[in-house]
């Protein structure tokens, strides 16, 4: 998600620095940008000049202070664990300019759980992109009780500048709009599968051909990452202590086996190297 958000912003004309603690991840992100831009030029979707401008506006660094030192907007896209995100936000607060907006791309976690790790809660909000971020138009912007209206306006404007369609949530709710709806479908699909009502392939086919969705819930889990689903539900369970919020047995089994979907080559479905 991070590399795609960074490239989408660069294509929109913004000056972008993409940071990761992993040099390997940064190399992958740089290669991805080069390949994506070259393919868009080859397909006539982008001129060579536009591609060059985007690439010139995109830098990669392992140094968080270098990345955020003069930023106007920082978008965090790390693992869905509150403790990790709080640590990142505390560091961002210390290295970014006082006026910089700090946004989280979290799929579920509301920004009020992160804002007090900073000295600027009024400049913290959710800016949730959808996967793949270069393709999907929707961005969910969530205004927490701590978030200033000016912060919301800035984030909505940046999303529009990237060719996105931002929707505003006037108050916080875990999972926001789309993922709350998708979670209801996913949980029912897992129940139907685990109780032997139907195979995951047939459940996917029913959702695609009966409801008109572009892909079924199991194919979508493979795309977004079964590890992400596991971490999100475990965070919810840790917060509430409610056994109903634990990940399903199937998700736990897939997570432990390392069958996380497309990223590992196998989830509910198997994927080749291409």
pLDDT tens digits for range 217-253 = 999 999 999 999 999 899 889 888 999 889 999 999 9
- What are the domain boundaries of the chain? 2-169, 178-264
- What distance, in Å, lies between the first and last C-alpha atoms of the chain? 19
pTM: 0.84
Packing angle of the helix pair 2-11, 48-56 (nearest 10 deg): 120
> Which of 96, 126, 128, 235 is the catalytic position?
128
Region 113-138 average pLDDT = 97
- Quote the mean pLDDT of the chain: 96
Give yes or no: 187 in active site: no
- d(C-alpha 219, C-alpha 200), whole Å: 9
| 242 catalytically annotated | no
Instruction: Give pLDDT tens digits for 179-219.
Output: 999 999 999 999 999 999 999 999 999 999 999 999 999 99
Tokens of 134: 């270069």
- 147 pLDDT exceeds 80? yes
Superfamily the domain 2-169 falls into? NAD(P)-binding Rossmann-like Domain (3.40.50.720)
- CA–CA gap between residue 179 and residue 160 (Å, rounded): 21
- Confidence at residue 85, expressed as pLDDT on a 0 to 100 scale: 97
Rg of the chain over all Cα atoms, to the nearest angstrom: 19
Which member of 105, 106, 179, 248 is catalytic? 179
Structure tokens that stand for 96 in this block: 């970014």
The pLDDT of residue 273 is 66
Q: What is the pLDDT of residue 9?
A: 98
Q: For residue 140, indicate whether it is catalytic.
A: yes
Average pLDDT over residues 123-147: 97
Q: What is the pLDDT of residue 139?
A: 98
Reply yes or no on whether the pLDDT at 68 is more than 70. yes
Instruction: Please determine, for residue 274, whether its predicted confidence score (pLDDT) is greater than 70.
Output: no
Torsion-angle region of residue 194: left (phi > 0), alpha (psi -120 to 50) or beta? alpha
CB atoms within 10 A of CB 234: 18
Confidence at residue 30, expressed as pLDDT on a 0 to 100 scale: 96
Gap between the Cα atoms of 6 and 106, Å rounded: 15
Which entry of 107, 183, 229, 248 is annotated as an active-site residue?
107
Query: For residues 18 and 241, what is the distance between their CA atoms, to the nearest angstrom?
Result: 36
Question: What CATH number is given for 178-264 in this structure?
Answer: 1.10.1040.10
């Amino acid at each position: 998600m991070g590399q795609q958000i960074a490239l989408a912003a660069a294509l929109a004309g913004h000056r972008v620095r993409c940071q990761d603690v992993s040099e390997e991840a940064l190399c992958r992100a740089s290669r991805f940008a080069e390949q994506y831009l070259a393919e868009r030029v080859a397909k006539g979707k982008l001129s060579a000049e536009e591609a060059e401008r985007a690439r010139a506006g995109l830098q990669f660094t392992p140094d968080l202070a270098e990345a955020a030192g003069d930023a106007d907007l920082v978008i965090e896209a790390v693992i869905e664990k509150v403790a990790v995100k709080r640590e990142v936000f505390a560091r961002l607060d210390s290295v970014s300019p006082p006026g910089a907006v700090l946004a989280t791309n979290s799929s579920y976690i509301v920004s009020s759980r992160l804002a007090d790790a900073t000295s600027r809660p009024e400049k913290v909000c959710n800016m949730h992109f959808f996967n793949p971020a270069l393709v999907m138009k929707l961005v969910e912007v969530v205004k927490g009780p701590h978030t200033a209206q000016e912060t919301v306006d800035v984030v909505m404007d940046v999303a529009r500048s990237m060719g996105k369609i931002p929707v505003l949530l006037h108050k916080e709710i875990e999972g926001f709009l789309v993922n709350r709806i998708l979670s209801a479908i996913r949980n029912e699909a897992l129940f139907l599968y685990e109780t032997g009502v139907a195979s995951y392939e047939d459940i996917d086919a029913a959702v695609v051909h009966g409801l008109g969705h572009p892909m079924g819930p199991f194919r979508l889990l493979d795309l977004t990452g079964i590890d992400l689903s596991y971490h999100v539900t475990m965070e919810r369970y840790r917060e509430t202590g409610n056994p109903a919020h634990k990940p399903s047995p199937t998700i736990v089994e897939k997570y432990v086996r390392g069958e996380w979907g497309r990223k590992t080559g196998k989830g509910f479905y198997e994927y080749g190297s291409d």
